[in-house]
Amino acid sequence: MDTTLDDPLVGRVLDGRYRIDARIAAGGMATVYRALDTRLDRVLALKVMHPALAADHGFVDRFIREAKSVARLAHPNVVAVFDQGTDGGYVYLAMEYVSGCTLRDVLRERGALQPRAALDILEPVLAALGAAHRAGFVHRDMKPENVLIGDDGRVKVADFGLVRSVDTVTQTTGAVLGTVSYLAPEQIESGTADTRVDVYACGVVLYEMLTGTKPHTGGTPAQVLYQHLHADVPPPSATVPGLPAALDGLVAQAAARAPELRPYDAAALLGLVREARAGLSAAELDAVPPQARAEVRSSAEDRTGVIPRPVTSERQPVEHTSRLAAPLPPAPAAAPGGLAGRLPGGPSRRGLFLVLAGVLLALGIGTGVWYISSGQFTQVPHVLGKTEAQARKQLSAAGLGVKGVDRRFSSSFERGAVMGSDPAPGEQIRGNGSVTLVLSRGPEVVSVPNLKGKPLGAAKAMLTKEGLAPGMVTRTFDEDVPLGAVIRTDPAAGEKRAPDTAVALVVSKGRPVPVPGTVGQPVEQARADLERLGLKVELAAEQVHSPQPAGRVANQSVAANTQAVAGDTVTLTVSKGPRQVQVPDVTNQDVDSARRTLEGLGFKVKVERPLISFSNTVASQSVPANQPAPEGSTITIRTKGL
């Protein structure tokens, strides 16, 4: 990732702390350097705003907002921000340094990725964005350049430079910031940017990883913007035949032109990705894509910039423009993506077709007309109520393809069932045409099912079937609910929630078993007592010296009077009796000194004094000097009498 270039900042120390060692990359608003924090002696990345922009308070505020926003995330898949500051005309962020490459580097080198690799990259990206979305932030500039892949395989999302709080999203009147190839239609049309613009960009990135190409391309940025507005992202399998339908469905859902048809945030999309992955076989995940590499080029489509939006009133742009600032074109004669437009100065293509048909009829060319009206067309099969896979199979048998999938709420069709198509069932369509399937998202409001007593696996399946997402699982003891079954949910059973809402599950650890104390018992008796309670017993490999007699329990791995689960294992350590310790001679010592000596060797001490005695000197001891005695046994010392 490092590329040392001639640069006036290389070798300089910013803010008296950060020594800039190499230039890594340059973007539309900032340059990133590898630097050394001389105070903490650690390598980091320094993102320095271009001096020309540092004078613009709006850009500086956005730059500082990035630091504050990312610092709040603290997510393992987000590039951490350590510090923010200024040095003269330079405004900088000090960030975590990730040694590796960007996803753009990978795509340039390898082109299309295997589905497993694409999903392995997408999942941590969505985890990072999901954390941002749940924290109230929208990234607004997701693209392969902002996905870092470390040498250790970790995936991190970088460059929250355009981040904005969800609750402060506004509609800009004249311009929008972003990267042309990944802008959602609503960003282009109205400047609206909520969590679903990041979902759209991730759909485009997934398409690019699966195919090695972008879904929308053009000679100018304006042509690409036009396609975002008027053409669906095509299914990846149209470019890479053989890709599973589930991957086509993920791209269609994430990159739907209408934001209400997309998952509401990255966390919801992550759930769909994991669900789709679970349904793919190892062969499908590891299918080798064509070895054609992605087109290696750097264009305005890949750079973050300011793009003016079309306006219908006398609004003035509110942001600076860059070299991306080209006006959106009127509908061209042959719109990108094969859309029909109106010919300049003449009738529409449909009008020309009708004129041509009329000429054919007037000339009496009946055979040709029959071929146009019948031989080239087929009826769209009735696929209502079928699963997506069943519908695709039936359409394929009729010689038709699927160009996309829309998802809508329905109280009449089960979640995942086909509730409509475009063209509709029974309508005529060209024999090699494609159909858009409309799948049910289930009811707009879902009741949380009663899962008490259901095994965890079955409970998760029921939640998914109802259109909810299995959430965090915690475990606790329960006298009545069997081990591994659900005790309760949060939200509770019967409560209403939006589809894809996560439901937390509390699962039973079974009836608690009070563990008795067995220290000092014969081993076989201790084993019998524990096994009677449903616990398993193991003996430690080695016996130990202890105050307990040989053959008795010296220690147990689970403390007495604590709770365990039936089937848990308790390890017993067997005593081989106390150690024998040589008793020292403590006669003629004062009592306190003798006590300290004996207790220091592990003995207990008892002091006996004559009925009349004024002496504190030891006259005798119960165990003679230099004789062995069991560690922990009691030594009696006696003082002198009159």
Q: Residues with catalytic annotation?
A: 141
Contact 89, 51 (CB under 8 A): yes
- The closest alpha carbon to 184, from 209, 160, 149, 216, belongs to 216
**Helix extents (H) in 231-365:** 245-254, 266-278, 282-285, 349-362
Contact 296, 116 (CB under 8 A): no
Q: How many CA atoms lie within 13 A of 295 on its CB side?
A: 9
- The closest alpha carbon to 83, from 38, 47, 135, 122, belongs to 47
AA identity, residue 500: D
- Rounded Cα–Cα distance for residues 31 and 47 (Å): 6
Please spell the DSSP secondary structure of 399-430, one letter per residue: T-EEEEEEEE--SSS-TTBEEEEESPTT-EEE
Element (H, E) at 636: strand 634-639
3-class SS of residue 455: strand
3-class SS of residue 228: helix
Give the CA dihedral 452, 457, 463, 469, nearest 10 degrees.
Answer: 120
Q: How many CA atoms lie within 13 A of 504 on its CB side?
A: 6
- The closest alpha carbon to 113, from 235, 243, 217, belongs to 243
Here the tokens at position 212 are 């090695």
Give the CA dihedral 102, 106, 107, 108, nearest 10 degrees.
Answer: 100
3-class SS of residue 629: strand
| Burial track 454-479 (b if 16+ CB lie within 10 A, e otherwise) | bebeebbebbeebbbbbbeeebebbe
- The closest alpha carbon to 3, from 37, 30, 32, belongs to 32
CA distances to 143, 224, 227, 238 from 214, rounded to whole Å, are: 11, 10, 12, 13
| Burial track 298-335 (b if 16+ CB lie within 10 A, e otherwise) | ebbbbbbbbbbbeeeeeeeeebeebebbbebeeeeeeb
Residue in this structure with the two tokens 């742009």, named with its chain if needed: 317
624: number of Cβ within 10 Å? 11
- Rounded Cα–Cα distance for residues 260 and 541 (Å): 63
Element (H, E) at 46: strand 42-49
